[in-house]
Structure 1
Amino acid sequence: MLSVTNVNLRYRRMHKATKAAVASTIRPLKSHHYTLFDLQYLFLFVLFSFCYYIMDKPVWFKLPIALGAVGLLIPRKTRQFMLPFLAIAAWLILFYCCRYIPAAWRPHIFTSVLPALENILYGGNISELLAESTSPLKDLLAWMPYGVLHFALPFITAGLIVYFGPAGTLPVFARTFGYMNLAGVLTQILFPCAPPWYETNYGAFEPATYAMPGSPGGLARVDDILGTNMYKSTFTASPLVFGAFPSLHSACAWQLAFFLVFIFGPRSIPFAVGYVFWIWWATMYLGHHYVVDLVGGAGFAVVAFFIGSFFLPSVLPPQHHNAKASHAIHDLGDAMNHQEKQTLFNDSNDNDDDFVGFKKDTEWDLSEGYQAEEDVAEEITDVVIVSVVQEVEERKLLS
Structure 2
Amino acid sequence: MDDQFFEKNLYRLNHIYANLSISAAYLLLSYFLVGFKTDQLILVFIFNTMFYLSHGTRRFITGFSIFIVYWILFDYMKAFPNFLYHQVHIEDLYNAEKRIFGINLHGLVVTPNEFANLHSHAFLDVLSGIFYLMWVPVPLVFAGYLFFKNKREFVLFSLVFVWVNLIGFVIYYLFPAAPPWYVQEHGFDFIANTHGNTAGLARFDAYFDISLFKGIYSKGSNVFAAMPSLHSAYPIVVAYFGFKNKLGKINIFFVVVMLGIWFAAVYTGHHYLLDVFGGICCAILGILTFNSVAKRNWFRRYVELVVSKITAQP
Q: What TM-score results when the alignment is normalised by the length of structure 1?
A: 0.58
Q: State the partner residue of 1:206.
A: 189
- Cα distance change, pair 168–183 in 1 and its aligned pair in 2 (3 A): same
Q: State the partner residue of 2:143.
A: 158
- Give, in whole Å, the separation in 2 of the partners of 1:76 and 1:53: 34
Q: Match for 1:54 among 33, 40, 45?
A: 33
Q: Match for 2:274 among 292, 300, 304?
A: 292
1:117-151 Cα offsets, whole Å, 9 max, x none, are 3134334522222232012111101111102x222
Q: What TM-score results when the alignment is normalised by the length of structure 2?
A: 0.72
1:350-373 Cα offsets, whole Å, 9 max, x none, are xxxxxxxxxxxxx982223557xx
Query: What are structure 2's unaligned runs of at least 5 residues?
Result: 16-25, 104-110, 309-314
Q: State the partner residue of 2:125.
A: 139
- Cα distance change, pair 53–79 in 1 and its aligned pair in 2 (3 A): farther
How far residue 48 of structure 1 moved from its aligned partner, in angstroms, is: 11
SS of 1:168 mapped into structure 2: helix
Q: How does 1:1-399 map to 2 (within 5 A)?
A: 16-17=7-8, 19-20=10-11, 54-57=33-36, 65=44, 85-101=64-80, 105-123=84-102, 125-147=111-133, 149-162=134-147, 166-203=150-187, 205-210=188-193, 212-264=194-246, 270-309=252-291, 365-368=302-305, 370=307
Count of paired positions: 282
SS of 1:240 mapped into structure 2: coil
- Cα distance change, pair 13–262 in 1 and its aligned pair in 2 (3 A): closer
How far residue 239 of structure 1 moved from its aligned partner, in angstroms, is: 2.5
2:176 touches 2:226 (CA, 8 Å); kept in 1?
yes
Give the AA of the match of 1:56: G
1:91 touches 1:185 (CA, 8 Å); kept in 2?
no
Query: What are structure 1's unaligned runs of at least 5 residues?
Result: 1-9, 25-46, 314-362, 372-399
Give the AA of the match of 2:137: A
SS of 2:224 mapped into structure 1: coil
2:171 touches 2:227 (CA, 8 Å); kept in 1?
yes
How far residue 304 of structure 1 moved from its aligned partner, in angstroms, is: 2.2
- Give, in whole Å, the separation in 1 of the partners of 2:227 and 2:197: 16
Q: Percent identity?
A: 24
- Cα distance change, pair 98–129 in 1 and its aligned pair in 2 (3 A): same
1:91 touches 1:179 (CA, 8 Å); kept in 2?
no
How far residue 292 of structure 1 moved from its aligned partner, in angstroms, is: 0.9
Q: How well do the aligned residues superpose, as a CA RMSD in angstroms?
A: 4.2
2:81 touches 2:222 (CA, 8 Å); kept in 1?
no
- Give, in whole Å, the separation in 2 of the partners of 1:49 and 1:179: 26
1:71-117 Cα offsets, whole Å, 9 max, x none, are x6xx9988865665443222211222233337895433221232133
